[in-house]
Structure 1
Amino acid sequence: MEELLRELTPQVLGFLTRRYAQFDLCEDAVQEALLAAATQWPVDGVPDNPRGWLITVATRRLTDQFRSESSRRRREDSVAAMAGAEELVAPAADSVGDPDSDDTLTLLLLCCHPAVTPASQVALTLRAVGGLTTGEIARAFMVPEATMAPRISRAKKSIKEAGSQFELPPAEELAERMKVVRQVLYLIFNEGYTASSGESLQRVELTAEAIRLTRMLRAALPDDGEVAGLLALMLLTDSRRMARTTADGSLIPIDEQDRALWDHAQISEGTTLILATMAQGGVGPYQLQAAIAAVHAEAPSAEATDWPQIHALYVILEKVTPNPMITLNRAIALSQVEGPQAGLDLLATLDDNKNLTESHRLDAVRAHLYERAGQPGKAREHYLAAARRTTSLPEQRYLTARADALTS
């Protein structure tokens, strides 16, 4: 039932927003309809036309809201013209069941509007397109619901104030807006795959939701190579999930993982997808990252990993999308090809990057390379520095354990 509700959420919200044009009010009404379904369906059973049921219930909520507003504000012209209460009736069954009315892409673009901050784009996407409640989103990001609710409200208000219409942007804007959509989905996946804080390394509900939404986006844009690359990257990365932690939740690095636990069905799907996509030309950053993930996934053991190929792909990726995190990862690959000192020399070029120096990742990679270079004192120093900076408890425990192992 939960999966069905999440699948129907963008369909119902898209239908209502296209019909009544008020995204913020429609989104609130859909959330109320979802809560009603979660309460009633387990008792009464799933209706024959669940989408029509949700639209009918949400429409009634809108009817009540518009009537209240009409009474309080004496039916302002703007409200009456857009959605007079006498016009708010349950849609006909044939229009409700129209298989061609998939507004997922339009909703994603609206939630990722440039007027909305990145953090709010993520929250609004999870709620409006993913069907998560405010409480679920708050728990996923480990903030109080009282903090998340205003964030979502501000996002909807920003979209309304920007005068956004429920329609695809002009062709000249679409490419830039799609970059934001892909980035938001990637952020959701990353937060689920390696949680930025808290007791758990992974938040499976977020990775699963990111993959589900990206599949939906892929269905809407089958010719978009970067959407295909993003989906392949998620599948290939997530394939390692079961091997990443011990029974007590401790982190296991990729070179120590039991590869028999990797999800080979996901590896096969992701590899097939990225090979087909890259063969079409016009390779972008998500496709390149997926290709790197595929090389890791295809290696039968850590020792058999084709590091020269991975490093070559990172060199291309760095040229396509210059980014300090890409350089950080290239340093690891370079150290496997030319030795740890070569990797350390490349890391030195990142010492002036404030975002990285304030993060734990630069210290963590530097510690790893110093350990491989036979310099345990420096390695321990950087492991401890990384442990102090991370807010993820599993990462903190892992880094501290590596440092402690170097004192014996």
Structure 2
Amino acid sequence: MKIVSIEPTPSPYSMKINLDEQLADGKTENYKLDDDLSTAPSYILELFNINGVKGIYRVINFIALERNPRVAWEEILPDVRNVLGSREDSSEEFSNAPAAADEHFGEIKVFIQTFRNIPMQVKLEDGESEQRFGLPERFMNATMEASVASDNMLMERKWVEQNPRYGDVDEIGQEIVEELAASYDSERLSMLVKLAAENDLSQEPKTGKKVTLDMLDNPSWKDRYAALDRMDPTIDDLPVLDKALDDEKASIRRLATAYLGMIEEPEVLPFLYKALKDKAVNVRRTAGDCLSDLGFKQAIPEMIHALGDSSRLVRWRAAMYLYEAGDETAVPALKQAMEDPEFEVRMQVKMALARIEGGEEAKGSIWHQMTEATKQK
């Protein structure tokens, strides 16, 4: 078994290793570093002996390799090549300088623990460790009141994964706690307690209230956020979302950007371009994700421009979009970006150039390709 090629994925902590051997139909291999590996194949043991390798998932003809965020790919990938071998010389350049740990380069996974739709606590995972954040006392009081209706409240608790965030874990945790406190006022929590007492376990209903421009003039950011948070956005809401993009609170601008990505019409593009130039990295990265998910090729010029963003994670997302959807108009900017100081950005830029200059059609995101391959096994 040898490596055919190495590709980035939408997570900076995971790399797709394409192999020249294929697993038998229907077979997969999934291992974590702390698993019992006594029956694992020898190459799995060798890969886990590499400092930084944290997880291995093999399906069809590739491995999704997960790393510890404190160990850079520049240190890991040469050793992976040594273990598996390669059908070609390495096309990637690895720096001899010590690689910096990129603890906040990519996403922070966000989970909210709930009981019958009532939030209980927040959990954040940065790829290596997890941190938990408590909510104001009224959330605990609501949970305890609702628990009377349950035979086993502990068993009913569940972690609900949210969209990822980007940045410092402590800052993100505090931000999410503030957002939940803003969105779940006492009236909303009382309504959830009532539903729990009635054993109504369905999803919480939308308010049905239309968000208006006047609501975004409220002097309290918490009230402005609460108004948006339960919105069911449509194309008719573009004026409201546009105004929200100018809000002084980054949480509101990020939420408005995410809503724009839910409206699958080209009319949202000018507003996402606006968000792509926001002063907050989290908003710009969210805009890049939305543009990638929508896949409109009209966004190519804007994403070319984003290759020069001051944030490495925005540049990385722009390069990935151009790999997924870019055309020959992106080639000059991609060639210039070959000198990017960040390894993940350079690697993604090389992938985009190789696809475009090789005349290959855009295939969509790596995760989409992996999902499709799994379906065909």
TM surpasses 0.5: no
More helix by share: 1
TM-score of the superposition, structure 2-length normalised? 0.31
TM-score of the superposition, structure 1-length normalised? 0.29
More strand by share: 2
